[in-house]
């Protein structure tokens, strides 16, 4: 499904942020990535989603390179993942057309209104009752939840989650993780998730990867994950 081949990133001839990194992810697999600050996790996501071009190597999705239309992403910062001076509804409509042709037809058709309300209701944050509120008036957690919803409203096969619970309180954080888990499982999306939360790292996903110095330092599959501990991160 997703295959990252020999990726090296070296910006302006400085030190290598990613160093000959190889990773292949099967369709429907859920991979969790951990690593110290500055280990290159977000950079890896930037490469997969096509925001930056690697110095060497390539990313194949379904066997095709530059297939970025199959990637959707939730950013680390909810202010990047949503548009503050759009309404909730406009944000949904904007996300709905991700990687599609954007036609000259009004974005607020009745079918969409109904569909968006249904999707918003799955967040249990009562956002469906205030579709015309500006997103800048939402709380950080609500914005992040909306950002997650926006990233899965299309049918992209690869989903990238970058520390999506960093801004959330424990309860919302649990809810968002449950939601993410549910979406990934129900729709069999291929998912990569970055987290600093040890519980999420052990509890979620099929595989755990520790990134260090631009390389995959350690890898735990399935059952092995319970041997993962804080020590693996600090080393």
Partner 1 sequence: MGSEFAMAVEMGLIYGIIAIGIMLTFRIINFADMTCDGSFVFGGCVASILVKNGLSPAIGCAAAFIAGAAAGWVTALLHSRYKITDILAGILVAFMLYSINLRLLGGMPNITLEGSCLGNFGLLVTAMAAVLLIGYLLNTDFGLALRAIGHNSCLAKASGINVAAMMALALALSNGLIGLGGAFFCLTQSFCDVGSGIGTLIVAMASLIIGERILPFRSPTVAAASCVVGSVIYRILVGFALHGNDGIFRSSDFNLITGVLIVAIMAIGRKKKCFP
Ligand X SMILES: Nc1ncnc2c1ncn2[C@@H]1O[C@H](COP(=O)(O)OP(=O)(O)OP(=O)(O)O)[C@@H](O)[C@H]1O
**Footprint of ligand X on this chain (CB under 6 A)?**
11, 17, 35, 37-43, 76
Radius of gyration of the chain (CA): 18
Which span (21-29, 38-46, 52-60, 197-205) binds Mg ion, by CB under 5 A? Answer: 38-46
Residue 191 is given by DSSP the state: E
- Name the residues that contact partner 1, by CB under 8 A: 49, 51, 68-69, 73, 75, 79-87, 90, 93-95, 97-100, 102-108, 136
> H or E segment at 8?
strand 2-10
Q: Which does 40 bind (CB under 5 to 8 A by kind): partner 1, ligand X, Mg ion, none?
A: ligand X
Beta carbon of residue 166, minimum distance to Mg ion (angstroms, whole number): 9
# residues near Mg ion by CB under 5 A: 1
Residue 96 or residue 198: which is nearer to partner 1 going by CB?
A: 96
Beta carbon of residue 43, minimum distance to Mg ion (angstroms, whole number): 8
Crossing angle, helix 88-96 and helix 110-121, to 10 degrees?
A: 100
Rounded Cα distance between 21 and 209, Å, is 12
Question: Binding of Mg ion at residue 42 (CB under 5 A)?
Answer: yes
What is the Cβ-side half-sphere exposure of residue 130, based on CA atoms within 13 angstroms? 13
Q: Is the dihedral of CA 160, 166, 168, 174 positive or negative?
A: positive
Beta carbon of residue 67, minimum distance to partner 1 (angstroms, whole number): 12
Q: Determine contact, residues 165/176, Cβ cutoff 8 Å.
A: yes
Beta carbon of residue 44, minimum distance to Mg ion (angstroms, whole number): 9
Q: Which does 39 bind (CB under 5 to 8 A by kind): ligand X, partner 1, Mg ion, none?
A: ligand X
Beta carbon of residue 64, minimum distance to partner 1 (angstroms, whole number): 15
What is the Cβ-side half-sphere exposure of residue 224, based on CA atoms within 13 angstroms? 9
Task: Please name the residue that has the structure tokens 């239309």.
Answer: 69
């Amino acid at each position: 499904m997703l295959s990252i081949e020999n990726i090296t990133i070296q910006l302006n001839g400085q030190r290598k942020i990613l160093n000959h990194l190889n990773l292949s992810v099967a369709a429907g697999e859920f991979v969790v990535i951990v690593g110290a600050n500055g280990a290159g996790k977000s950079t890896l996501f930037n490469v997969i989603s096509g925001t930056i071009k690697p110095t060497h190597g390539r990313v194949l999705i379904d066997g095709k390179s530059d297939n970025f239309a199959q990637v959707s992403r939730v950013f680390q910062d909810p202010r990047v993942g949503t548009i503050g001076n759009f309404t909730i509804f406009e944000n949904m409509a904007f996300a709905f057309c991700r990687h599609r042709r954007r036609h000259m037809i009004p974005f607020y058709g009745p079918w969409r209104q109904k569909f968006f309300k249904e999707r918003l209701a799955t967040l249990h944050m009562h956002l469906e009752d205030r579709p015309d509120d500006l997103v800048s008036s939402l709380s950080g957690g609500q914005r992040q939840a909306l950002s997650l919803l926006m990233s899965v409203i299309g049918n992209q096969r690869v989903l990238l989650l970058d520390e999506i619970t960093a801004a959330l309180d424990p309860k919302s954080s649990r809810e968002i993780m449950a939601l993410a888990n549910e979406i990934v499982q129900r729709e069999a999306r291929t998912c990569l998730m970055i987290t600093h939360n040890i519980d999420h790292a052990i509890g979620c996903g099929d595989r755990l990867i520790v990134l260090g110095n631009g390389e995959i330092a350690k890898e735990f599959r399935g059952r092995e994950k319970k041997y993962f501990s804080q020590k693996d991160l600090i080393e």
